Amino acid sequence: MANPLLSVSDLVVQSHRNGSPWPLLNGVSMDISQGEIVGLAGESGAGKSMLGAAINGLLPNGCIPVSGQIIWKSESLLGASASRLHGLRGAEIATIFQEPMTALNPTLRIGRQLMDVIRTHRLSDDAKAYALRHLSDVRITEPQTTFEAWPHQLSGGMRQRVLIAMAFMCRPSLIVADEPTTALDFNVRNQVLDLLLTLAREQGTAVLLISHDIGVIQKSCQRIHVMYGGRIVEQGSTDQVLNAPHHPYTKALLKCLPHRAEPRSRLQALSSDERRLPGCSFRARCDCAEERCVEVPALMVIGERARQSACWRASQAEVII
């Protein structure tokens, strides 16, 4: 990809478990271009949120990037100072967090939190008017009432709209949306997702949409990366990957979806064996595992260069699909 907005290359992030290094991200690579909407899918614990935190320089204590690169517009973020990352967050790379109640400060009114962002990045001399305008932009019908409210007085959907307004306030180049619709009911989820995507397309903002919900990614994203065990195991255009998966994990995820199941048939479930064995991280749960899976398969190009799968049998599409 020529001149990507964001380029993550062979990123390894480790913690420690029982005194030994424990890989949380293990050789992750990903590029995102200006205005592109990219999905990152996988189960809880796959490493999706950890990647989002690494991009923002918000890794939890004890989680350390040990190798690889994160390049933002030709600038290395792994070597950036704390002050540089502070100036970057919100202004150029914004985040919409998974749980809006914990993302908002419960001890401050909504208006105060919005105005703090405005004043930090010097967006407007009239912080209140600027905040009210952005509350209107996210289709809040009574912006003044919301401005004066405490977070606990708002519904989950309203709180998420506030976070979307906050994210777009600085017109960032990239938004990392970490499970932005998980805690919402079906109708509100669709409204919030449509709002996020509409604003992104209007402003030309790139989005990394992190979700365990394949349906959300299928509806929203041009490309998809499927993550398991801290690795990208399959990537390509969303239509390619979801209509003809080449990795057993992607196939297993799709079989768990109600609309993919045969009529009157029971939904299939993934094996509960989640051990991280040497080699392919999925082999303890894989029906196709064989002897060579004790070695870690690299992402292999399948047909077009943009389509890749980390499975030894990826070239044998008739076996996996």
Looking at residue 270, its pLDDT comes to 61
- Within a domain: 294: yes
Say which residue, 22 or 138, is predicted with more confidence. Answer: 138
Determine, yes or no, domain membership for 101: no
User: What is the secondary structure of 193-213 as a DSSP string?
Assistant: HHHHHHHHHHHT-EEEEEES-
- On whether the CB atoms of residues 175 and 207 are closer than 8 A, the answer is yes
Structural domain contains residue 130: no
The mean per-residue pLDDT over the stretch 99-117 comes to: 91
Residue 278 neighbours by CB distance under 10 Å: 10
- The token duo for 306 is 């943009």
Query: How confident is the model at residue 131, as a pLDDT?
Result: 96
Tell me if 209 is assigned to some domain: yes
- In sign, the C-alpha dihedral spanning 287, 292, 294, 295 is negative
- In angstroms, the CA 76 to CA 153 distance is 41
What strand order describes the sheet that includes 6-17? 20-32, 6-17, 64-72, 75-76
Q: What is the pLDDT of residues 37-47, one digit of tens each?
A: 999 999 888 99
Q: Provide the Cα torsion 140, 163, 237, 313; round to 10°.
A: -140
**In whole angstroms, how far apart are CA 126 and each of 72, 141, 172?**
31, 21, 20
Rounded to an integer, the average pLDDT of 147-164 is: 94
* Confidence check: pLDDT of 193 > 60: yes
3 state DSSP class of 254: helix
CA atoms within 13 A on the CB side of 116: 8
Tokens of 74: 């030709």
Q: At 236, list the tokens.
A: 């390509």
How confident is residue 320, by pLDDT bands cut at 50, 70 and 90? very low
Whether 83 is in a domain gets the answer yes
Please, what sign has the CA dihedral across residues 32, 38, 42, 44? positive
Residue 12 domain-assigned? Answer: yes
C-alpha 258/C-alpha 194 separation (Å) is: 22
| More confident call, 314 vs 199 | 199
Distance, in Å, from the CA atom of 45 to the CA atom of 64, rounded to the nearest integer, reads 17
Say how many domains are in the chain.
Answer: 1
pLDDT confidence of residue 318: 37
* Closest by CA position to 38, among listed 21, 55, 22: 55
Per the structure, the complete domain to which residue 315 belongs is given by: 6-92+170-320
Mean pLDDT of 24-37: 95
CATH code, domain carrying 201: 3.40.50.300
Q: For the beta carbon of residue 264, count every other beta carbon within 10 angstroms.
A: 5
Cβ proximity of 250 and 64 under 8 Å: no
pLDDT at position 225 is: 97
153 domain residue, yes or no: no
- Higher-pLDDT residue of 4 and 281 is 4
Give the C-alpha separation, 39 to 107, whole Å. 33
CA distance 184 to 273: 29
Q: What is the pLDDT of residue 259?
A: 57
pLDDT band at 321 (very low <50, low <70, confident <90, very high): very low
User: Could you read off the pLDDT of 61-89 as tens digits, one per residue?
Assistant: 999 999 999 999 999 999 899 999 998 99
Instruction: Inform me whether the pLDDT recorded for 9 exceeds 50.
Output: yes
The answer to whether 14 and 198 are in contact (CB under 8 A) is: no
Question: What pLDDT band is residue 284 in, cutting at 50, 70 and 90?
Answer: confident
CA–CA distance, 267 with 253 (Å, rounded to integer): 11
> Is 293 contained in some domain?
yes
| Amino acid at site 100 | P
Whole-number pLDDT of residue 15: 92
The phi, psi pair for 201, rounded to 5°, reads -70, -35
Q: The tokens 């001149």 sit on which residue?
A: 3
Give me the torsion for CA of 229, 303, 204, 156, rounded to 10°: -40
Question: Is 59 in a helix, a strand, or coil?
Answer: coil
pLDDT of amino acid 319: 35
